[in-house]
Structure 1
Amino acid sequence: MTRFIFITGGVVSSLGKGLMAASLAALLQARGYKVRLRKLDPYLNVDPGTMSPYQHGEVYVTDDGAEADLDLGHYERFTGVPARQSDNATSGRIYQGIISRERRGDYLGATVQVIPHVTNAIKDFIRADLDPDLDFLICEVGGTVGDIESLPFIEAIRQFRNEEGRDRTLSIHTTLVPFIAAAGELKTKPTQHSVRELTSLGIQPEIIVCRTEHPLPDSDRAKIALFCNVRTEAVIPALDAKSIYAVPQQYHEAGLDTEVLHALGLAAPAPDMRRWDDVLDRLFNPEGEVTIGVVGKYVGLPDAYKSLTEALIHGGLANRVKVNIQWLDAELFEHPGSEIAGALEPMHGILVPGGFGERGSEGKIASVRFARERKVPFFGICLGMQMACIEGARNTAGIAGAGSSEFGAQAEPVIGLITEWMSDEGLQKRAEGGDLGGTMRLGAYEATLAGNSAVRSIYGSDRIFERHRHRYEVNIHYRDALEKGGLIFSGMSPDGELPEIVERADHPWFIGVQFHPELKSKPFAPHPLFASFIEAAVKQSRLV
């Protein structure tokens, strides 16, 4: 029988609800329970696919092609449970479905209202696509309690709890307990007001998680418990951790998982924390370090490359080294007299990540050339692979006018708009100038690897399934010219039409991939490409 845990936030945003949800799921897993996580986002975008990284951070992509909130990345990294389309819903998606049904006449002339139609749609989403043996569904609600856009979600949860019963539902509320330096003390009043706001909307939380920069005294825990109508043991302190991967252990020591099981009247078998003990041992006891230069477009906002950052750390865990990431703005390498060599020479590896648009593209191409000529390990992801192909076309294949049609008309469109491809649903077609949202090649697709390639050796298989998010591809008509220049097409779609991986045999480690391997990496199961890339960087560090 599935139990439902709802996580809300108050006082301020960015309290770490997603990490707390992921950590709780990992702890329940460690006790032998089967878990799944979902995210309810109140914004009106259908999904984050058309939102700027500066607005929303990275867009996470699932195997089945959902463009989703970055918190789903935390969920997967902490639990290993693949996310689905059904694990992320926004107000926009909910309303889009309701309006479509209204236009079809499904409501038989009734007035369509927030209650019951919107709240029913939210409840249907919560209940949908659940495995019969699932023990816990954890639902995180984005934003903060009291926001006008989140009210339908809070009301839906109130109704849901009444329908399913208190023995199957649980509310966890995260709040801020600020430290006032002038007074020299923590203040619990914001937490009291936040819980009062949630209670006024019909939801009494059973557990309160208090984010604080200072230890929460027992007296303050008792005060919060008294005024917020919960057990003192249910007031869980959440201090900043040295790493996000230390958060599950920290919440376990604070009693979060114990209190959840107590509140639901469930058995609390001893947790098996060996997986996390090994991760923390590798993280906090490295045997060396490497520096990776990431030449990108959104380097001022780390959340734009959240999964990439974590995958590099995972590669370090696989090799027992600390990975220092140097964020390098690709635009700076485009200015006359830019010291690209001075910036990149200290790097033990160079990575050009995915992105969209022309800005910074020439700087990325210059970085690829530096890595190729100086024999520095190079990893190109999505747009990074495309820049590697343009660099190879211009400088080793003699195609001077090579470019990408994404950036306008090109004399030699080595990179072009992909208009047709095969998926599990059959032939997919796209037209230039069509909708941007949800129209890319999205989700997991198969690729076949050349038998004598580096990637075949790295993966240990000749068939892989990786997640994609792009609408431009390397033009297959340039394959012969690029391969004569040394850039080998070592991974292809099963029909042989779409290039998936390129590499250079005359280079210590030079690989470009059209997909996003970072989306499938986990601390306890680092992605093989990132593990191999960091291994190459370790070798490079011994040469400089």
Structure 2
Amino acid sequence: MARYVFITGGVVSSLGKGLASAALGAVLQARGYKVRLRKLDPYLNVDPGTMSPTQHGEVFVTDDGAETDLDLGHYERFTGRSANKRDNITTGRIYSDLLAKERKGEFLGATVQVIPHVTDAIKNFVLDGNEDFDFVLVEIGGTVGDIEGLPFFEAIRQLGNDLPRGHAAYLHLTLMPYIPSAGELKTKPTQHSVKELRSIGIAPDVLLVRCDRPIPEGEKKKLSLFCNVRETAVIQGLDVGSIYDVPMAYHQEGLDREILAALGITDAPEPDMSAWEEVSRRHHNPEGEVNIAIVGKYTGLKDAYKSLSEALTHGGIANKVKVNLQWIDSEVFERDDPAPYLEHVHGILVPGGFGERGSAGKIEAARFARTKDVPYFGICFGMQMACIEAARNTAGIKSASSTEFGPTKEPIVGMMTEWVKGNETESRASDGDLGGTLRLGAYPAQLTRGSRVADIYGSTRISERHRHRYEVNMDYRKVLEKNGLLFSGVSPDGKLPEIVERTDHPWFIGVQFHPELKSKPFEPHPLFTSFIAAAMDQSRLV
């Protein structure tokens, strides 16, 4: 039977709860255990699909088409296990399902309440489908004391009693701030956070305390005494040079050992951390560096492109180079010449996005890359803008545009209304709901034999994850290919474009999917590996 570790947070948000969960999962996996990670999000949105990236960060997409919290990206990158729809749930999803059942009369006249109906739904979600796993790590979003999180805390409190003894443990992540004027690390915020947690019936077994300097033994004893945990179970979470140092750092501090002890496991095998040691060694000992410009519209919040920045790092690890990222708001190029911003970079990446704002700047970035022979990587929207740029400036279609921006006589890019997934046809209306109506999840693609992308993948059949509602119009394929833009990847039925590449350029590739979602530090995505290799070649020319 699976054992459960519930990970909660206190004091402030953004302490790295998701990263800590992923790191713990990686170390338990390195000990030979089968691990599953799940995220409980207290917000009322059904999923993060309609939330602004500048508020919530990246929307991570799974193979089966779920739009999920960005922490699931950490889970996948650190454990290598693909997440799915059953690994992330929100208050909105729970209430939506419960209210649908209530309308159908499935509660047989009972008064529907938070306890037991909402809490039971949360517990059922946590417990479902874990037969093949040794450990299930369950992260609760937000911080203790948040009013919207109370049903989730109540549910995991109940699970502590429902599960057999030794099958549930509680890990609480807090902050220990340093006060310069006093010259001290302060334990009081953690004490108050644990007090809040205990007031709702949860006693943490292990404290993971984020701090910017080592915790003195006296402060560890104080936390142990006032928070009622063993002194060895007060784990310091120091800042490290890279997120890929976190699994080793937490293992060295004894996090996994204390979690196992809380569950009564004393005979666990020692972890094999060699893969993480190699990743860390490559990351910290580069043999060169490249500069990559990311020209996007959500650059004010780097978490909006979390998987993207990590995939670029993975490409650097694969090539043994440091990747320096230059974040550029695409709107800048709508008023300024891009040359001063881009003439010294070794690669240009235009990521996904929605809406017309900033699109003209992305088109300018694609034009600069094409005319200056700078490696270009267009992802989703970035591919579409490269196609519009090619239509306007190489094929002479000056009014080329996207129907996403409004009516146009030359719809190089248009909204999909119908496509095939598996054996079923999916459809969408232009005035339909926005949430959950995109082309989502993994789809296969057929690559042109002998093309650059076929060489990069080492195959002519691939599967990649999508998240978009507009496609490049295949009616313009012939004219674009006549002007050097090869459609080197298409859907198996030949109706939807997946990849374009320039045959007259050192490295110019646009993809309709999101390859960054499948990249891992110990298994870098081949497109990012090749892109960084091309940037290395460019660095020798600049």
Cα displacement string for residues 403-458 of structure 1 (whole angstroms, at most 9, x for unaligned residues): 00000011100000001011136100000011000000000000010001100000
Between stretches 234-243 and 418-427, larger displacement belongs to 418-427
- After TM superposition, the runs of 4+ consecutive aligned structure 1 residues lying more than 3 A away are none
Letter in 2 for 1:180: I
Q: Whole-Å Cα distance in 2 between the matches of residues 54 and 489 of structure 1?
A: 33
Q: Whole-Å Cα distance in 1 between the matches of residues 127 and 446 of structure 2?
A: 37
Q: How does 1:66-85 map to 2 (within 5 A)?
A: 66-85=66-85
Per-residue deviation, 1:179: 1.1
Q: Whole-Å Cα distance in 2 between the matches of residues 532 and 27 of structure 1?
A: 30
2:96 maps to 1:128: no
Q: How does 1:200-279 map to 2 (within 5 A)?
A: 200-266=199-265, 267-279=267-279
Per-residue deviation, 1:529: 0.1
> Which residue of the partner structure matches residue 465 of structure 1?
463
> Which residue of the partner structure matches residue 307 of structure 1?
307
Q: How does 1:97-496 map to 2 (within 5 A)?
A: 97-130=97-130, 132-266=131-265, 267-335=267-335, 338-424=336-422, 426-496=424-494
Q: Whole-Å Cα distance in 2 between the matches of residues 299 and 527 of structure 1?
A: 23
Between stretches 394-403 and 414-423, larger displacement belongs to 394-403
Structure 1 stretches of 5 or more lacking a match?
Answer: none
Per-residue deviation, 1:241: 1.1
Q: Whole-Å Cα distance in 1 between the matches of residues 298 and 442 of structure 2?
A: 25
> Which residue of the partner structure matches residue 526 of structure 1?
524
Letter in 2 for 1:167: G
The 3-state SS of whatever aligns with 2:291 is: strand
Q: Whole-Å Cα distance in 1 between the matches of residues 364 and 177 of structure 2?
A: 47
Per-residue deviation, 1:133: 2.5
Letter in 2 for 1:492: V
Per-residue deviation, 1:226: 1.0
Q: Whole-Å Cα distance in 2 between the matches of residues 370 and 54 of structure 1?
A: 27
Q: Whole-Å Cα distance in 2 between the matches of residues 349 and 389 of structure 1?
A: 18
Per-residue deviation, 1:285: 0.3
Q: Whole-Å Cα distance in 2 between the matches of residues 299 and 425 of structure 1?
A: 39
Cα displacement string for residues 12-45 of structure 1 (whole angstroms, at most 9, x for unaligned residues): 1111100000000000011111101000000000
The 3-state SS of whatever aligns with 1:497 is: coil
The 3-state SS of whatever aligns with 1:313 is: helix
Q: Whole-Å Cα distance in 2 between the matches of residues 71 and 207 of structure 1?
A: 21
The 3-state SS of whatever aligns with 1:78 is: helix
Percent of matched pairs sharing the same residue:
67
Letter in 1 for 2:310: E
Per-residue deviation, 1:361: 0.7
Per-residue deviation, 1:291: 0.2
Structure 2 stretches of 5 or more lacking a match?
Answer: none
Q: Whole-Å Cα distance in 2 between the matches of residues 51 and 323 of structure 1?
A: 29
Q: Whole-Å Cα distance in 1 between the matches of residues 303 and 165 of structure 2?
A: 36
Q: Whole-Å Cα distance in 2 between the matches of residues 245 and 283 of structure 1?
A: 9
Cα displacement string for residues 256-308 of structure 1 (whole angstroms, at most 9, x for unaligned residues): 01111111122221110110011011100000000001111011111110100
User: TM-score, normalising length from structure 2?
Assistant: 0.99
The 3-state SS of whatever aligns with 1:265 is: coil
The 3-state SS of whatever aligns with 1:316 is: helix
Q: CA RMSD in A?
A: 0.8
Cα displacement string for residues 440-480 of structure 1 (whole angstroms, at most 9, x for unaligned residues): 00000000100011000000111111000000000111111
Q: Whole-Å Cα distance in 2 between the matches of residues 125 and 425 of structure 1?
A: 28
Q: Whole-Å Cα distance in 2 between the matches of residues 129 and 379 of structure 1?
A: 39
Q: Whole-Å Cα distance in 1 between the matches of residues 426 and 121 of structure 2?
A: 29
Q: Whole-Å Cα distance in 1 between the matches of residues 250 and 284 of structure 2?
A: 18
> Which residue of the partner structure matches residue 63 of structure 2?
63
Per-residue deviation, 1:128: 1.7
Per-residue deviation, 1:120: 0.3
Letter in 1 for 2:121: A
Per-residue deviation, 1:196: 1.2
Per-residue deviation, 1:339: 2.5
Between stretches 438-447 and 192-201, larger displacement belongs to 192-201
The 3-state SS of whatever aligns with 2:444 is: strand
Letter in 2 for 1:307: S
Q: How does 1:502-513 map to 2 (within 5 A)?
A: 502-513=500-511
Per-residue deviation, 1:166: 3.3
The 3-state SS of whatever aligns with 1:522 is: coil
Cα displacement string for residues 293-347 of structure 1 (whole angstroms, at most 9, x for unaligned residues): 1111011111110100000000000000000000111111111xx1211111101
Q: Whole-Å Cα distance in 2 between the matches of residues 319 and 179 of structure 1?
A: 38
Q: Whole-Å Cα distance in 1 between the matches of residues 337 and 473 of structure 2?
A: 32
